[in-house]
């Protein structure tokens, strides 16, 4: 029997949990301890393999010091779902990138650069390296 693929929203919520946990430099084990879970269960939540129930999501939000709505920011729209104010969600690759340690580290360091001209030159350099036009 084939494995069922994780729901895109469960994956998104899990990646946001991971991103916020990493922003706080918190280990999976520490989050798991605070929730009374193993780090493996936290891994499953972060991958979207296991769904996070409402009460557990509220507990995670409290531990990670964010509102529950944080986990749904930029979530993919499912067919038949209205777009609300017509604002498009941020592309999934942005959330995926920020959920990695490299993405988070690069973003934190980039934001510490005071000169907007220097930041722009760095973006131009990266675009050239990547072959963007």
pLDDT tens per residue, range 31-55: 999 999 999 999 999 999 999 999 9
pLDDT for 94 equals 73
Fold for the domain defined by 7-76+90-99: 434 Repressor (Amino-terminal Domain) (1.10.260)
Taking the C-alpha atoms of residue 104 and residue 101, their distance in angstroms, rounded to an integer, is 5
Radius of gyration of the CA atoms of the chain, in A? 17
For the residues of 45-101, what is the DSSP string, one character each?
Answer: HHHTSSPPPHHHHHHHHHHHTS-GGGGGTTPPPPTT---TTTPPPPPHHHHHHHTSH
pLDDT for 89 equals 47
Sign of CA dihedral 52, 84, 91, 25: negative
Q: What is the pLDDT of residues 57-97, one digit of tens each?
A: 999 999 999 999 999 888 877 655 444 444 454 566 677 77
Taking the C-alpha atoms of residue 123 and residue 104, their distance in angstroms, rounded to an integer, is 16
Taking the C-alpha atoms of residue 47 and residue 71, their distance in angstroms, rounded to an integer, is 13
Note the residue count of the chain. Answer: 133
Q: What is the pLDDT of residues 3-18, one digit of tens each?
A: 778 888 999 999 999 9
């Amino acid at each position: 029997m084939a494995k069922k693929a994780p729901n895109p929203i469960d994956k998104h919520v899990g990646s946001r949990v991971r991103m916020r946990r990493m922003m706080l430099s918190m280990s999976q084990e520490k989050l798991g301890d605070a929730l009374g879970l193993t780090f493996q269960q936290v891994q499953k939540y972060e991958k979207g393999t296991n769904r996070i129930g409402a009460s557990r999501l509220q507990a995670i939000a409290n531990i990670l010091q964010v509102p529950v709505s944080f986990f749904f920011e930029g979530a993919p729209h499912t067919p038949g779902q209205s777009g609300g104010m017509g604002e498009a969600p941020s592309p999934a690759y942005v959330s995926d990138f920020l959920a990695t340690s490299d993405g988070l580290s690069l973003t934190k360091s980039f934001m510490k650069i005071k000169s907007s001209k220097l930041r722009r030159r760095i973006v131009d350099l990266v675009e050239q390296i990547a072959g963007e036009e």
